[in-house]
Chains A and B, each alone.
Chain A
């Protein structure tokens, strides 16, 4: 309620500010103008949205598959962990803004460089919480499994993997938040479609309202993805919210 009221007040004063001529419509379009753009350009927005949504979804999927494989490998092998962790951290220091045009130069305007950039950005936030969750599995549980004669793999499958699921979902939620920025950046570096491409073309044409509408669509998509993951978390892991009694 408070949040909704706050948004309304904010939108109202924004609208009033622009209408009273406080600022040029080209620099800051009024909320009503953005709403109009959302409606009038819906076909254009939709077709570009599907492109960007695909980049985000598949990029995150790639990051998830590679990130989980990497976390599990590092969990099983100390040597791999020592070898990979510095590389992982340094991968986060790569200035994506500079690398994106290079990838586009290598791979062209198609999906591949966008997937690579989204995956590169989302990889780290998936690996770290997953690996942390695997590390934090109660050592007494591993001992228990050993007294049952369980193999290393059985212990992983029965105890460690399910226990790491909250970490995986945390990682996925963190990467959703940045995947949209990564996809936009990738499109700015070279593309012929997508919401980032649409923004890029709209601004020099003084269609600022359309660019704002594109931003709105993109953040709505990110929030929906985030909400979906939060829902999955509550449905899949009811125990993660209510274990306080079991794990003293």
Chain B
């Protein structure tokens, strides 16, 4: 059985009304072999995931267990070949910031607005306001190569927010940053999502990142990718990394991953 339902894409120009949700039921995805003669790869098998409006669901798992595939399914970039999938319009933010090197920070942030046909001046005004909120005042005109990794990632996140999609898929967003910057960015993301709630599917292989940020953590096992444990993180925000409950959950997640 295979069904797929998508809410009609909402123009980013519209004011955000409500938050989308994501619901995957027994989703499977198999890739044809890349090389002739090799066996096809079952990236996901019988995977279910629910993210209610405004919920942050983290997915942790080793490399190659189908995390990126899962996000591409949610974003409609590929189709599942088993199960059912319902998702509000979603956009993807990758580990690499994917900023256009020839565009300034503000024009990169405004990318989705420009795609939606909003004229340049208005798009820039909105993007510049968000960049200021993100502590990037004075860097509006900077090119990506003039900014640090953390700053670029914030520009990429501004671009993601301005896309007007109600669901954000974050694919190891901080994996390329150094450990200290990564922690700062995690705290920053938690704060940003507290003021501008979105439905988030956060993929990471950093267990601590998942526990600190998410309402629920799914632990995936590889070949085929499937959920082996679901941890609810019932800890109020703002959270401290050293909180005993978070530390205990982290230990549990790591145990599940090693199992």
Contact = CB atoms under 8 A, between A and B. Distances in A.
Interface in B178-234: none
Contacts of A143: 72, 75, 77, 92
Given A145-B115, A239-B145, A159 B100 contact: yes
A248 interface: yes
Contact of B163 (A147, A158, A239): A147
Contacts of B70: none
B144 interface: yes
Interface string B94-113: 10111111100000000110
A243 B91 CA distance: 25
Interface string A82-93: 000000000000
Contact of B145 (A149, A150, A243): A243
Contacts of A245: 144-145, 149
A97 to B, nearest CB: 42
A158 B114 contact: yes
Interface residues of B, number: 30
Interface string B109-130: 0011011100000000000000
Contact of B77 (A146, A243, A248): A146
A78 interface: no
B90 A147 contact: yes
B111 A148 contact: yes
Nearest to B10: A149
B9 interface: yes
Interface in A154-171: 154, 158-159, 162
A69 interface: no
A158 B115 contact: yes
Contacts of B115: 145, 148-150, 154, 158
A247 B72 CA distance: 21
A105 interface: no
B3 interface: no
A246 interface: yes
A246 B77 contact: no
A95 to B, nearest CB: 40
A162 B115 CA distance: 16
A144 B98 contact: yes
Given A148-B111, A148-B112, A242 B145 contact: yes
B143 interface: yes
21 contacts: A143-B92, A144-B91, A144-B92, A144-B94, A145-B115, A147-B76, A147-B90, A147-B163, A154-B115, A159-B100, A237-B102, A238-B143, A239-B102, A239-B144, A239-B145, A240-B101, A243-B144, A244-B145, A247-B101, A248-B96, A248-B176
